[in-house]
């Protein structure tokens, strides 16, 4: 699959496991439900507990990228994973809201160190023509994280309580941290020559970076809105149980995994530009179809396809960030890329919820996600016209 040192496979595996642990803490809702009841938290407190991770995570992105470019991805990733695992294990013993909130913030800050540093590592260890596939394999971590949290994690919650489930997530994070300290290296083998940051001038790449951000923002909005509101949509329209809704989320994780790998591996066969355009087109069409679905079977199929659409673009898009700005600044600019797109994606659930509260229409609410998806589609088409993705061939 990859030529050269087998160490690169170990590094990619370690980075993927790191992404798994990060996504487990991101999709922590099923575990936190038990904590809400035990500590008698209000809805406002529970919402704050959920959002604390995201706010802290977004805030850490740019500093994490700068640190990764200056000190190397290995140390930043390893420190982030270690702090995240320790905080998660401590969270399992929380007995009041203040402590739980502080630990969730710490988990978010530590987790924010991981993606920029992982992109820095992969950028160093893989040549430009291998990065689409490498990023696609790395992206498997998102789907696996969802599956572990919403399937195994939910089972542990039911059988042993939320504290045991939190310990389970902390153990996964500890394994990822141990792998990072043992295997990650920052020797820049097989990498393309270092380049200066190219954001302005005749051959400036600022516009291309903005278009990449637009695609990531659109997909993140569609994924976030679908994950957060599909369970109650299925319960309302088809009278499905909460457990069934959890399995739907797990289905998204499965198709996320498939999409991430196939998006990376098929980029060289059908063209990276075609991969991202297909992904963004699906993000534009599928949410609207889901909101207008009145068959449980078709709803399940559409949810699975949305899971696929929101990860199919990842390999060539993530690989495009280092190429757009120059290898030397891969960590910093990926931090910018992820902070902006992830931070803005918080608008999607707010818009979705506002439409439901005021218009009481799932059709219009899911259509709002499709409208956001068009932003990514337009960006993908524009990047193809600029022949951006052909630069990695």
> Tens digit of pLDDT for each residue in 119-142?
888 888 888 778 888 888 888 887
> Does 226 lie in the same domain as 168?
no
Residue where a domain stops, chosen among 186, 212, 236? 186
> Does 208 lie in the same domain as 175?
no
pLDDT above 50 (res 200): no
27 lies in a domain?
yes
Query: Higher pLDDT residue, 221 or 196?
Result: 221
- Rg, C-alpha atoms of the chain: 20
181 lies in a domain?
yes
Q: What is the CATH number of the domain that holds 254?
A: 1.20.1250.20
What pLDDT does 33 receive? 67
Rounded Cα distance, 265 and 287, in Å: 26
Rounded Cα distance, 54 and 52, in Å: 6
Band (pLDDT 50/70/90 cuts) for residue 204 is low
193 lies in a domain?
no
> Does 50 lie in the same domain as 109?
yes
Average pLDDT over residues 321-347: 81
Number of Cβ within 10 Å of residue 208's Cβ equals 22
B/e letters for 170-185, b = 16+ CB within 10 Å, e = fewer, are: bebbbbbbbbbeebbb
> Does 213 lie in the same domain as 258?
yes
pLDDT above 80 (res 198): no
Residue 84 domain boundaries? 9-186
208 lies in a domain?
yes
Rounded Cα distance, 9 and 384, in Å: 30
Query: Higher pLDDT residue, 247 or 312?
Result: 312
> Does 286 lie in the same domain as 138?
no
> Does 110 lie in the same domain as 242?
no
Mean pLDDT comparison of 228-237, 255-264, 346-355, 373-382, highest-scoring range: 373-382
Instruction: Give the pLDDT confidence of 50-105 residue by residue, as tens digits.
Output: 778 888 888 898 999 899 888 888 899 999 999 999 998 999 898 888 998 999 99
270 lies in a domain?
yes
Look up residue 62 and give its two tokens: 């740019």
> Does 160 lie in the same domain as 294?
no
Average pLDDT over residues 302-321: 92
Please state the domain count of the chain: 2
Instruction: Give the pLDDT confidence of 209-250 residue by residue, as tens digits.
Output: 899 999 999 999 998 888 778 878 888 899 887 667 667 777
Residue where a domain stops, chosen among 186, 214, 230? 186
């Amino acid at each position: 699959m990859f030529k050269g040192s087998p160490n690169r496979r170990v590094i990619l595996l370690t980075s993927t496991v790191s992404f798994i642990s990060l996504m487990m803490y991101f999709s922590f809702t099923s575990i936190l439900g038990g904590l809400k009841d035990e500590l008698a938290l209000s809805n406002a407190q529970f919402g704050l507990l959920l959002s604390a991770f995201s706010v802290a995570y977004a805030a850490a992105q740019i500093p994490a990228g700068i640190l990764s470019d200056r000190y190397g991805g290995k140390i930043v990733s390893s420190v982030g994973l270690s702090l995240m695992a320790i905080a998660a294990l401590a969270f399992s013993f929380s007995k009041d809201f203040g402590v739980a909130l502080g630990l969730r913030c710490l988990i978010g800050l530590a987790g924010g160190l991981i993606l920029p540093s992982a992109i820095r590592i992969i950028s160093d260890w893989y040549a430009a023509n291998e990065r689409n596939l490498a990023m696609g394999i790395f992206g498997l971590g998102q789907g696996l994280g969802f599956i572990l949290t919403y399937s195994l994690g939910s089972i542990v919650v039911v059988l042993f309580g939320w504290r045991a489930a939190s310990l389970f997530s902390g153990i996964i994070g500890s394994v990822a941290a141990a792998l990072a300290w043992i295997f990650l290296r920052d020797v820049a083998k097989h990498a393309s020559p270092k380049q200066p940051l190219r954001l302005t001038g005749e051959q400036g790449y600022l516009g291309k970076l903005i278009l990449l951000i637009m695609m990531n923002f659109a997909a993140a909005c569609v994924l976030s809105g679908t994950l957060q509101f599909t369970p109650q949509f299925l319960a309302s329209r088809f009278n499905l149980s909460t457990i069934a809704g959890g399995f739907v989320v797990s289905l998204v994780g499965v198709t996320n995994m498939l999409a991430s790998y196939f998006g990376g591996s098929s980029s060289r066969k059908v063209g990276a530009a075609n991969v991202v355009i297909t992904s963004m087109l699906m993000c534009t069409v599928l949410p609207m179809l889901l909101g207008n679905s009145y068959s449980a079977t078709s709803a399940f199929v559409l949810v699975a396809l949305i899971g696929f659409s929101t990860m199919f673009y990842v390999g060539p898009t993530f690989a495009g960030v280092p190429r757009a700005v120059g290898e030397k600044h891969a960590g910093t600019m990926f931090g910018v890329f992820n902070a902006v797109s992830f931070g803005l994606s918080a608008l999607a659930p707010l818009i979705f919820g506002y439409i439901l509260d005021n218009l009481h229409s799932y059709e219009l609410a899911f259509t709002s996600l499709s409208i956001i998806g068009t932003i990514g589609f337009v960006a993908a088409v524009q990047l193809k016209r600029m022949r951006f993705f052909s630069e990695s061939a």
